[in-house]
Amino acid sequence: MDKTYIIANWKSNKTQKESQDWLSAYKELSFPDDKEVIVCPPFTLLATSAWFLNSNSLSLKLGAQNVSAFLAGSYTGEIYAEQVKEYAAYTIIGHSERRNLFHESNEEIEQKVTNAKAAGLEVIFCVQDQNTPIPQAVTIVAYEPVSAIGSGNPDTPENAVIVAKAIKEKNPQVRSILYGGSVTAENVNSFTSQKEISGVLVGKASLDPQSFQGIIQNA
């Protein structure tokens, strides 16, 4: 059976203390085998989050929000894929905030995918519509229309299904398509109940541990 991915993208939020408080709220929780729950904290919190998950045997998985387009070397301020792999199993690549605010090109994004895969990371590849080029190595895609991100104005499940079908048609290597953009505990099931949608990528509503738990439960 295909897994349902429920992914928290904390973006540039949370201190050490705040992240430990969030993770503590997951100490007594276990998830059914068909739900893959992944938390993507900022780089500074990956090591301590990994330590916390291991020492408390939590069933959450870790992901990064980005990796460098370069390997190890003289690239000030960059974090390369093998450094991420020491702590995380996944990485988001190509989020629209990186494409738009940091001007990441399709070529740069493709290089990031190559590096992430070579390091053994599973890639959660973000696209804004069905026309975004998807590298051959990508099997998990998150469809996130820009107008839905952080706006409280999600896409309709019907349109998300149309886009998911178009993505699969153009990119037969893609196995799972997730939806992202203003997902909440109230609307998550309208997306995950569609057979073409294999999960959700959640920004704002993932910052509060209880509201994210509501999303996991209802997905």
Query: Catalytic site residues?
Result: 95, 144
Q: Note whether 91 and 120 are within 8 A (CB).
A: no
153, with CB counted inside 10 A (0-12, 13-18, 19+), is: exposed
**CB closer to ligand PGA out of 30 and 219:** 219
Q: What is the rounded distance in angstroms from the CA atom of residue 153 to the CA atom of residue 145?
A: 10
**CB closer to ligand PGA out of 110 and 155:** 155
Instruction: Give the residue at shortest CB distance from ligand PGA.
Output: 203
Q: What is the rounded distance in angstroms from the CA atom of residue 56 to the CA atom of residue 205?
A: 24
**CB closer to ligand PGA out of 100 and 131:** 100
Q: Note whether 212 and 16 are within 8 A (CB).
A: no
CB of 125 to ligand PGA, least distance (A): 12
CB of 203 to ligand PGA, least distance (A): 2
CB of 180 to ligand PGA, least distance (A): 4
Which residues form the interface with ligand PGA (CB under 6 A)?
A: 9, 144, 149-150, 180-183, 201-205
